[in-house]
Amino acid sequence: MESMQSQTIQITLPKSDIKMLKRLASGMGWVVSAMSSKKKSGIEKGLEDIRNGNVYHAKNSQDLISQILE
């Protein structure tokens, strides 16, 4: 018997389609395993904000409070 070569791939699909994918994979003799997405740390979120330009500046504490309350 010849050994089966395999390749691992990653696909992203809606959660509503997972059940259908698992049925298809089962019928084809494939193996499906879910990967959990890594939760971002606070510093990762902050760096992402900086990259996206979500950074604000205040002249002083009074200016900061007025920006928050707007």
> What Rg do the C-alpha atoms of the chain give, in angstroms?
23
What is the chain's mean pLDDT, rounded?
A: 88
Spatial separation of the C-alpha atoms in residues 1 and 50, rounded to whole Å: 56
∠ CA 23-26-28, rounded to 5°: 110
CB atoms within 10 A of CB 49: 12
| Residue extents of the structural domains in the chain | 40-70
Alpha helices in the chain (DSSP H): 18-28, 42-51, 61-69
> What pLDDT does 15 receive?
87
Q: What is the pLDDT of residues 30-62, one digit of tens each?
A: 988 877 777 889 999 999 999 999 998 999 999
Confidence of residue 2 (pLDDT cuts 50, 70, 90): low
